[in-house]
Amino acid sequence: MQVKITSMGHTATFQLYDTVAAKQFYAQLPLKLELTNFRDAQWMFYPPQRLSVTENEAYHDGKKGELSYYEPWGDAFMLYEDFYAGDEMHRLGINLAGIEEIAKMSGSALIQKNETNAPKTKATMQISVKAKGNTTVFELNNSQAAKELYAQLPLSIKVENYSSNEKIFYPPKKLNTQNTPQADARVGTLAYYAPWGDVVMFYGSFGSASGLYELGHAISGSEYIQGMSGTIQIEKR
């Protein structure tokens, strides 16, 4: 699902996630709505019908380029500056093109499905993790570590519990963390802890730690991470 938002001749395109709220938002399109600026960091607008945010899907990184939803107010917003404001923010999607155009918008905006003219983007790396009949899908970033994990697939491997918010597994070969971003782990974050050589799937918020690098994030099935146990199957999509 892709969405194109145009205002004052400026256009930004977003890739939506496979969440209940994102699907409900997509189903309401096209829309023409007024934009409201909030704290010089975001343009917000109000979909006619409120979106259903489940607990497992309510997460928000507060990074420039996000399309998110604030459940208490019922508004959707596009970030043109980093802005984190708590766990009641729900990320609907992420910018694909026109991230610098968001700040230039104002007034009314045309919000429509981008079905036939989707911009050409680099192919994304996605992996599926299957456990106990359930599937979690992660979209990997373009880091060196993520590429090396992707190259090792498919894997049939044991998953382990660690702490109260993560599941871990050890890929056969350690990953090179050059050009790999530090993680700010939240629900659905896929990360790599270099000192131990384990990949981490977070089902609870954690934050940052020395040696913890981000590999990607869950785009569907994050609610199944906590229940993973035994041998899991990891494959390319």
28 in the same domain as 104? yes
Do 150 and 95 fall within a single domain? no
Q: Which of 84, 113, 142 is a domain's end point?
A: 113
Residues 61 and 20 in one domain: yes
Q: Based on the fold, state whether residues 7 and 82 are members of the same structural domain.
A: yes
- DSSP assignment of 197-219, as one string? TEEEEESS--B--TTEEEEEEEE
- Give the CA angle between residues 140, 122, 193 to the nearest 5°: 20
> CATH number, domain at 103?
2.40.100.20
Q: Could you read off the pLDDT of 179-232 as tens digits, one per residue?
A: 888 888 888 999 999 999 999 999 998 888 999 999 999 988 899 999 999 999
Task: Tell me the three state secondary structure of residue 37.
Answer: strand
Instruction: For residue 136, name the pLDDT band (cuts at 50, 70, 90).
Output: very high
What residues form DSSP beta bridges with 105?
Answer: none
pLDDT at 18: 78
What's the number of domains the chain is made of?
Answer: 2
Residues 97 and 160 in one domain: no
**Is residue 19 located within the same domain as residue 104?**
yes
118 within domain boundaries: no
Sheet containing 108-113, strands listed edge to edge, beginning at the edge strand earlier in sequence: 31-34, 108-113, 2-7, 10-16, 89-97, 66-70, 75-79, 42-45, 36-38
For residues 131 and 230, membership in a common domain is answered with: yes
Choose one of 67, 92, 113: the last residue of a domain.
Answer: 113
Task: Classify residue 120: in a domain, yes or no.
Answer: no
The phi and psi torsions of 23 (rounded to 5 degrees) equal -65, -40
Band the pLDDT of 110: cuts 50, 70, 90. Answer: very high
Give a yes or no: residue 105 inside a domain.
yes
The answer on 129 and 30 residing in a single domain is no
CA 107 to chain centre: 28
Q: Is residue 152 part of a domain?
A: yes
Domain boundary pick from 78, 113, 148: 113
59 burial level (CB within 10 Å; 0-12, 13-18, 19+): buried
Same domain? 143 vs 216: yes
Same domain? For 91 and 169 the reply is: no
Query: What is d(CA 182, CA 77) in angstroms, rounded to the nearest whole number?
Result: 26
Does a structural domain hold residue 6?
yes
Alpha helices in the chain (DSSP H): 20-27, 144-151
Within-domain flag for 172 = yes
Please give the Cα distance from 227 to 9 (Å, whole number).
47
Q: One-letter amino acid identity for 10?
A: H
51 close to 72: Cβ distance less than 8 angstroms: no
Q: Model pTM greater than 0.85?
A: no
Q: Is 208 inside any structural domain? A: yes
Q: Which of 173, 167, 130 is nearest to 149 (CA)?
A: 173
Same domain, yes or no, for 7 and 52?
yes
* Per-residue confidence band for 119, with pLDDT thresholds at 50, 70 and 90: very low
User: Which range marks the domain in which residue 179 is found?
Assistant: 125-236
Whether 220 is in a domain gets the answer: yes
pLDDT in tens, 50-75: 998 876 665 666 778 889 888 889 99
Residues 174 and 152 placed together within one structural domain of the fold: yes
